[in-house]
Amino acid sequence: MSDLLTQLRSGIGIVGPAQQAPDPVNIPMIRHWCEAMGEGNPNYLDEESAEHGPHGEIVAPPAMLNAWTMPGVRIKHEEMGNPPLPKNLSAESEGEDAESYSQTLSLLDAAGYIGVVATNSEHVYHRYLRLGERIEGRQKLVDVSEEKQTALGIGHFVTTETEYQTTEGDPVGSMFFRILKFKPYTGRDTGQGRGDTGPDSGSGRGDNAGGAAAPNAPPPQLQRPKPSMNPDTQFFWEGAANKELRIQQCNNCLRLQHPPGVRCPACGSMDLGWIVASGKGTLYSHCQVHYPPLPAFKQPPIVGLVELEEGTRLVSNITDCSYGQVKVGMDLQVWFHKDPQGFSLPLFRPARRPRREQTLLLEEVKVGDEMPLCPIPLTPTAIVATAIATRDYQDVHHDRDLAHEKGSKDIFMNILSSSGLASRYVNDWAGPDAMFKNLKIRLGAPNHPYDCMTMSGKVTAIENHADDGSSADVTVEFAGINSLGPHITGSAVLSVPAAPRR
Amino acid sequence: MKFSYEIAIAGIGATEFSKDSGRTPMQLAVECCAAACEDAGLPPSEVNGMVVFSAENNPEIEVARNLGISELTHFSMVHHGGGAACGVIALAAQAIYSGAADYVLCYRAFNERSWHRFGSGVQDRPAGAEAEVVSFSWSTPFGLVSPASWVAMFATRYMHEFGATSEDFGRVSVVDRQHAANNPAAYFYERPITLEDHQASRMIVDPLRLLDCCQETDGGQALLITSAQRARDLKQKPAVLAAAAQGASEDQHMMRSYYRDSIVGIPEMGLCARQLWQMSQLGPDDIDVGIIYDHFTPLVLPQLEEFGFCDRGEAKDFIADGNLTLNGSLPFNTHGGQLGEAYLHGMNGIAEGVRQIRGTSVNQVDSAANILVTAGTAVPTSALILSQDNH
């Protein structure tokens, strides 16, 4: 064992002192978190509704567990020319607390492993937190791995376990947590540029666009075939450029038609205009093009015949899901792809199903049930807002320059947000009064801006039926896939009621 | 129409079917036309009409010059790719019946494998403002660029509505290859396949596998048309045209008629069927052999339904019951079809219909009296019935 590893492992088993949440459980932080995650469960914010719910009062989203004790902004206040903050407001003050863990991280930083990504988070919830309760966590270093070659770079996995309790000593939950500390630009896929590639080389994940075609195959077209247009069809493409899906309409008899024509075949009018479609539709038919090779597409494109709710159909791509998830009849939502060649295309992804307002009952769920697909567009705002809402001010989640420096092609979503979004997904499906018992996730490909992560899931177990038959534990397994691959995989156990809890 | 039973196919001629002919398409065109004349026992100089596909890249006047044809009194073209196959015969029949020409050559010749590959689709087609180019823009930017992809969209919907499976499509392929295995002219001579082979073949455009797709072929096929009366004086037994018709239906698009209320039928083929039955005074029970256009297996199924060989949605059962084999009720593509013999835009299928009438098919059906031949599906199309000369 190297000297470094010996040093790194010297703190294993040591429980650090309590890290106290700077604030008690409070409405503003819950609101900020719910807004950033898109969480609408009334038990978290709506006092009146929560009173009639299973908790009898407002509770915090359980996935916020470790957000309460996050250290907050780590700017050295004095460096900004200000007098030192009082100790209880200073992020620096927590440095001495989690001794063994922070020492391990400092050693890794000093040895060049300055990159950091979280890879695993497993929450166990003993109960939901109420307003006014203040929690503290005691973190124990449990493992430091050998040096490993990963897709991101050479590094060590560091694993901790944290027990959470209220300041009154009432245990509320625990967390198993693992991060990877790595040397930037030493990833498996960075190839010859290892160690000295610029930020544009990406995070070391391969992008298979432009892959070599088979010999004797037709010459690959590197870009999407460009649409031809003329004055009869221009309105459609101009609409797409303005993020509008337009359908030709006869100004005389109001009949809609696509593809557009020059005369209304129903009434004979040549006075044709257009309407803006809602962008909602269902899938009428589909196929996936494997041949001829189309390197403009990262994956063999999924092509759908989409029936709009206005009644007309159009051909488009179905994005942000796998071909196995594509089904005739599925609900779709338009989005607009801006092509580097200068035109825009209306494309479709699975539509997000609205949150379930009436909580799922045991009789309505069985093992094997599929949860609806749920796309989560990853805007820079979404990534930064969720990071801040989880009190995670690590620079790689909001500062692109520093993310580059630490080996990423761009900022990326923090694990507390992935966990939060997964909990929202499960909560939307199960309804407000299903109660989380745990939430376990593992991260893979990073969630970078301008991508989209689509959640899917299924019921894998129903067990631990309550003696009085009032509830049982339902296990769901879920995944969130983005264009690079699976970002998140995990599971949750929910207590699902047999009868309405309100 | 009055040309029913008055016109005949008097000669057929083809080159070998290969993946690399080693010569120009013009040479293939001239070779097959000369062979059709020789088959009929007619000097090429007697030909005075030519009807070809608008997709044909060997101009009829150059072929005529090479054949030593001095005067042409009728020349015309039919659009829409493989949908033209029986259409050129229908147009030739009308020209002959009206007196515009006496002997008409129809041909299709290309190096579709060794030169420009058909399967690569239209992705590299230059942009333009004309309606036909613009119409492609409703699909090509999304990767729907090849004939297989255009058909796949119909196939998925058909599977969804009728519960058909990839295996149901595969059974079409198996029959084609079974018949091709007996045909020395077929590219896949002596190479039959099993349903397992079909299921193991790679995806081209899901749900279409490689073995659902016709070949890409180098070759040429020509047919010589004349009046039934003149045909009786030529070398071969006439294959009389009981009927021939074209069809394009409401909201018709080239390969992508996706916007109709239903897309599981082929209304333009139904339109052909109605005309054929009316012109010929025949019905589905009178048909002894079906040469059904098979660029892609899924669209064979609705064709069987449009012609009334089975009810809507039941073609999968009709096929699974063995009706398309030589011992079935509708022996199918006895040359091996375009999956087994060659892809000549349907022209080789018409030639097989002629052989069945003559009694010279390698998979001859006993006392075959009436042969149905269909042309390309998903496009404006055509169909014909060849019958014995009962004069």
Instruction: Give the start-to-end residue ranges of the domains of chain B.
Output: 7-115+215-387
Report domain extents, chain A. 3-189+367-497, 234-350
CATH class, A3-189+367-497 region: alpha beta
Compute φ and ψ for B246, nearest 5 degrees: -110, 160
CB contact under 8 A, A290 and B205: yes
CA of A304: which chain B residue's CA is closest?
B153
pLDDT of A446 above 70: yes
Instruction: Return the CATH number of B7-115+215-387, one of 1.10.150.250, 3.30.230.70, 3.30.365.10, 3.40.47.10.
Output: 3.40.47.10
**Yes or no, beta carbons of A284 and B123 under 8 Å apart:** no
- Facing A228 at nearest CB: one of B127, B146, B206: B127
- Chain A environment of B258 (Cβ under 8 Å): 284-285, 305, 313, 315
- Which residues on chain A are in Cβ contact (under 8 Å) with B143? 224-225, 289, 294, 296-297, 301, 303, 317
- The answer on pLDDT for A194 being more than 90 is no
DSSP-assigned letter for residue A29: H
| Cross-chain residue pair B129–A284, CB shorter than 8 Å | no
Q: What's the pLDDT at B128? A: 82
Q: At residue B313, does pLDDT exceed 50?
A: yes
Mean pLDDT to the nearest integer, A87-104: 58
- What residues 63-122 of chain B have any CB closer than 8 A to a CB of chain A? 117, 119-122
Instruction: Write b or e for each residue in A258-267: b if 16 or more Cβ atoms lie within 10 A of its Cβ, otherwise e.
Output: bbbeeebeee
- Strand order, beta sheet including B239-247: B74-78, B49-53, B104-111, B218-227, B7-14, B239-247, B381-387, B370-374, B289-291
CB contact, 8 Å: A253 with chain B?
Answer: no
Q: Does B258 touch chain A (CB under 8 A)?
A: yes
Q: Is the pLDDT of residue A213 over 60?
A: no
Query: What is the DSSP code (8-state) at residue A329?
Result: T
Specify the residue for token string 């607390």.
A97
A14 touches chain B (CB under 8 A): no
For residue A258, the one-letter residue type is: H
pLDDT, mean of residues A209-233 = 67
pLDDT class of B118 with cuts at 50, 70, 90: confident
3-state secondary structure chain B: CCCCCCEEEEEEEECCCECCCCCCHHHHHHHHHHHHHHHHCCCHHHCCEEEEECCCCCCHHHHHHHHCCCCCCEEEEECCHHHHHHHHHHHHHHHHHHCCCCCEEEEEEEECCCCCCHHHCCCCCCCCCCHHHHHHCCCHHHCCCCHHHHHHHHHHHHHHHHCCCHHHHHHHHHHHHHHHCCCCCCCCCCCCCCHHHHHHCCEEEECEEHHHECCCCEEEEEEEEEEHHHHCCCCCCCEEEEEEEEECCCCCCCCCCCCCCCCCCCHHHHHHHHHHHHHHCCCHHHCCEEECCCCEHHHHHHHHHHCCCCCCCCHHHHHHCCCCCCCCCCCECCCCHHHHCCCCCCHHHHHHHHHHHHCCCCCCCCCCCEEEEECCCCCCEEEEEEECCCC
- The whole-number pLDDT of residue A71 equals 86
Reported ipTM: the value is: 0.95
Q: Assign A76 a pLDDT band (cuts: 50, 70, 90).
A: low
Asked if B128's CB is within 8 angstroms of A301's CB, the reply is no
Among B157, B205, B258, whose Cβ lies nearest the Cβ of A289? B205
pLDDT at A413: 97
B206-216 average pLDDT score: 97
Confidence of residue A1 (pLDDT cuts 50, 70, 90): low
Chains A, B: CB contacts within 8 A come to: 135
Q: Quick check: A232 pLDDT over 90? A: yes
- Minimal-distance CA residue of chain A relative to B133: A228
Give A117-156 as a 3 state SS string. EEEEEEEEECCCCECCCCEEEEEEEEEECCCEECCCCEEE
Task: Give the pLDDT confidence score for residue A152 in this predicted structure.
Answer: 86
> Looking at beta carbons, which residues of chain B come within 8 Å of A312?
259
Distance from CA of B266 to the nearest CA of A (A): 16
**Whether pLDDT at B40 is above 80:** yes
Question: What is the amino acid identity at position B144?
Answer: L
* Nearest residue to A198 via CA among A407, A447, A411, A397: A407
